[in-house]
């Protein structure tokens, strides 16, 4: 189930016009026509699946194109925790936002449009 949703998430993010990125978790849930309960949680889990896939394949994290409605236009803390665990972002919190922005640009330019 999470794998199927992850594949749909990847499709949406690869085809989303650059001018409409980043998407929020809620916008992504709406585009996927997810029904409550736990829509945001299911989106987050699908993004985690994609992060594991992208790390294994040496690709930029397409999940970087999804951000929290709150905060500095960055993903939720779980993104950063997993990105650190997967060796993609530095463990030092003060370096993570800058590294995330670089990852965002790599993800944007690597999409197969």
Q: Which residues of 3-42 are buried (b: 16+ CB within 10 A; e: fewer)?
A: eebbeebbebbeebeeeebbbbbebbbebbebeeeebbeb
The number of folded domains in the chain is 1
113 has pLDDT over 90: no
Give the domain extent around 91.
Answer: 2-110
SS3 assignment for 81-113: HHHHHCCCCCCCHHHHHHHHHHHHHHHHHHCCC
Q: What pTM, to 2 d.p., does this model score?
A: 0.94
Please write the tens of the pLDDT for every residue from 3-53. Answer: 999 999 999 999 999 999 999 999 999 999 999 999 999 999 999 999 999
The helix (H) or strand (E) run that includes residue 1 is: none
């Amino acid at each position: 189930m999470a794998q199927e949703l992850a594949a749909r998430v990847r499709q949406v993010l690869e085809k989303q016009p650059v001018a409409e990125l980043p998407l929020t978790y809620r916008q992504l849930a709406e585009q996927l026509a997810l029904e409550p309960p736990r829509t945001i949680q299911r989106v987050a889990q699908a993004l985690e699946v994609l992060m594991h896939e992208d790390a294994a394949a040496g690709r930029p994290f397409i999940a970087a194109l999804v951000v929290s409605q709150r905060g500095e236009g960055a993903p939720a803390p779980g993104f950063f925790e997993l990105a650190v665990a997967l060796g993609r972002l530095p463990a030092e919190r003060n370096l993570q936002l800058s590294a995330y922005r670089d990852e965002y640009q790599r993800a944007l330019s690597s999409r197969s449009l």
